[in-house]
Amino acid sequence: MRAIEARDFSIDALSLGQRPVPAARRGEILVRIKAASLNYRDLAILVQKYLPTLPLPYVPASDCCGEVVAVGEEVTRFKVGDRVMPLYTQGWYDGKPTLETRTRRTLGAPLAGVLAEYVAVPAEDAVTVPANLSDAEAATLPIAALTAWTTLQEGGIKPGDSVLVQGTGGVALFALQFAKLAGARVIILSSSDEKLQRAKQLGADVGINYRSTPKWEDAVRAATEGRGVDIVVETAGASMAQSLACTAFGGFVGVVGFVAGYTAEIPLRAIIGPLMRVQGIAVGSRARFEAMNRAIERNGMKPVIDSHFQLADAAAAFTHLRDGRHFGKIVIDI
Ligand SMILES: NC(=O)c1ccc[n+]([C@@H]2O[C@H](COP(=O)([O-])OP(=O)(O)OC[C@H]3O[C@@H](n4cnc5c(N)ncnc54)[C@H](OP(=O)(O)O)[C@@H]3O)[C@@H](O)[C@H]2O)c1
69: buried, middle or exposed (CB in 10 Å: 19+, 13-18, 0-12)?
Answer: middle
Q: State in Å: Cα 4 to ligand 1 middle.
A: 24
**pLDDT score of 195:** 98
Looking at the chain, the whole-number percentage of residues with pLDDT higher than 70 is: 100
CA distance between the termini of the chain? 11
Looking at the chain, the whole-number percentage of residues with pLDDT higher than 90 is: 98
pLDDT per residue over 245-302, tens digit each? 999 999 999 999 999 999 999 999 999 999 999 999 999 999 999 999 999 999 999 9
Q: Write down the architecture of domain 2-140+303-333 according to CATH.
A: Alpha-Beta Complex (3.90)
pLDDT per residue over 231-257, tens digit each? 999 999 999 999 999 999 999 999 999
Note the pTM of the prediction, 2 decimals: 0.98
Q: Is the CB of 90 under 6 A from ligand 1?
A: no
**pLDDT score of 56:** 97
- Tell me: pLDDT of 100 over 90: no
Q: Is the CB of 260 under 6 A from ligand 1?
A: yes
* Residues 6+ positions from 55 with CB-CB distance below 8 Å: none
Q: Where are the domains of the chain?
A: 2-140+303-333, 146-280
pLDDT per residue over 29-39, tens digit each? 999 999 999 99
Q: Is the CB of 144 under 6 A from ligand 1?
A: yes
**pLDDT score of 61:** 98
- Domain at 146-280: CATH code: 3.40.50.720
Q: Which of 151, 187, 217, 235 has the most ligand 1 atoms within 8 A of CB, as the residue to mutate?
A: 235
- Tell me: pLDDT of 104 over 90: no
Q: State in Å: Cα 169 to ligand 1 middle.
A: 6
